[in-house]
C-alpha cells in the first residue's frame, strides 16, 4: 500500500481538492434543548432519525464547492492541504485567514478558520482527518494565530465528535443561524474553537 503524503499549497491545489467528495449520511442529530428558557444553559441530546439521508455540502446550490470559493473570497492567503495516496487525493483541509469580508473571522487578526475538511468516503477511518486537522492547526500556529475556529452543524454528529477529539471546545451554539435557508432552517450552527 502506498503511504499517504500531505501536500500544502495555494489555490493551484483546488482542482484536485474538488475531486474529494464531502457527502456523509445523517443518521442522528444533536437536538439542542434549553434549560429554564436558556437561563440554565443548553443541553444537546443525540437523537437517531427515522429516515437517514445523505448530506452533500458541495451540491447545495450551483455555486457550491471548492472551485467556486475564489469567486466569493480572496483566497490568496488561504492554505490548502491535500492527503495524497500516489496520484489520488483522499482528503483535504482548508485554512482561511486574513480575508477581508469573511464573517467567520469576526474581524480578528489572531483567528484562523478551518474552512473545510473532507475525507473521501472510501478512505474514512484511516486517521487522515486527524493528520489534516493537525497540519492545518500547526500551520496556523506557525503563522502566529492564537485560535482556530470551525463551523459545523448539529446534523453532523461525527464531525462534532471529531472536533472534540482534536481538542476543540464548543464555543457557541446558534440555533437559528440558518433560518433564512428553508432547506437547512432546522439545523443549528455549532462553532468549535482550538487554542493554538
Domain range summary for the chain, segments of one domain joined by +: 4-195
Taking the CB of residue 57, how many other CB atoms lie within 10 A of it?
Answer: 16
Share of the chain above pLDDT 90, in %: 95
pLDDT on residue 2: 61
Residue labelled with grid coordinates 495516496: 85
Decide which of 3.40.50.1820, 3.40.630.30, 3.40.50.620, 3.40.50.10190 is the CATH code for 4-195. Answer: 3.40.630.30
Condensed to tens digits (0 to 9), the pLDDT of residues 23-51 reads 999 999 999 999 999 999 999 999 999 99
Res. 168 pLDDT band, cuts 50 70 90: very high
Residue 119 has pLDDT above 70, yes or no: yes
Taking the CB of residue 120, how many other CB atoms lie within 10 A of it?
Answer: 19
Residue 159 has pLDDT above 50, yes or no: yes
Residue 62 has pLDDT above 80, yes or no: no
pLDDT on residue 4: 94
The whole-number average pLDDT for the span 162-177 is 97
pLDDT on residue 68: 94
Residue 20 has pLDDT above 70, yes or no: yes
pLDDT on residue 63: 81
pLDDT on residue 1: 47
Which carries the bigger pLDDT value, residue 61 or residue 128? 128
Mean residue pLDDT across the chain: 95
Residue 150 has pLDDT above 90, yes or no: yes
The whole-number average pLDDT for the span 71-93 is 96
Q: Where do the DSSP E strands lie in the chain? A: 4-9, 24-34, 42-55, 79-85, 88-96, 111-119, 147-153, 169-174, 189-195
Pair 32, 188: CB distance under 8 Å: yes
C-alpha to C-alpha distance for 35 and 189, rounded to whole angstroms: 18
The whole-number average pLDDT for the span 115-130 is 96
Pair 35, 45: CB distance under 8 Å: no
Share of the chain above pLDDT 70, in %: 99
| CA within 13 Å, CB half, 146 | 3
Which carries the bigger pLDDT value, residue 62 or residue 95? 95
Amino acid at each position: 500500500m502506498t503511504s499517504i503524503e500531505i501536500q500544502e499549497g495555494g489555490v493551484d491545489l483546488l482542482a484536485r481538492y474538488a475531486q474529494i467528495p464531502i457527502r456523509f449520511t445523517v443518521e442522528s442529530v444533536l437536538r439542542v434543548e434549553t434549560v429554564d428558557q436558556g437561563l440554565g444553559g443548553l443541553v444537546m441530546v443525540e437523537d437517531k432519525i427515522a429516515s437517514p439521508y445523505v448530506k452533500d455540502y458541495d451540491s447545495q446550490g450551483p455555486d457550491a464547492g471548492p472551485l467556486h470559493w475564489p469567486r466569493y473570497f480572496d483566497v490568496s492567503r488561504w492554505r490548502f492541504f491535500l492527503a495524497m495516496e500516489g496520484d489520488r487525493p483522499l482528503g483535504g483541509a482548508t485554512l482561511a485567514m486574513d480575508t477581508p469580508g469573511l464573517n467567520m473571522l469576526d474581524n480578528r487578526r489572531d483567528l484562523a478558520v478551518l474552512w473545510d475538511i473532507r475525507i473521501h468516503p472510501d478512505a474514512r477511518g484511516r486517521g487522515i482527518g486527524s493528520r489534516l486537522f493537525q497540519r492545518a492547526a500547526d500551520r496556523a500556529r506557525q503563522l502566529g494565530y492564537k485560535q482556530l475556529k470551525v463551523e459545523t452543524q448539529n446534523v453532523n454528529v461525527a464531525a462534532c465528535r471529531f472536533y472534540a477529539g482534536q481538542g476543540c471546545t464548543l464555543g457557541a451554539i446558534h440555533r437559528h443561524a440558518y433560518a433564512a435557508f428553508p432547506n437547512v432552517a432546522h439545523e443549528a450552527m455549532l462553532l468549535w474553537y482550538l487554542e493554538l
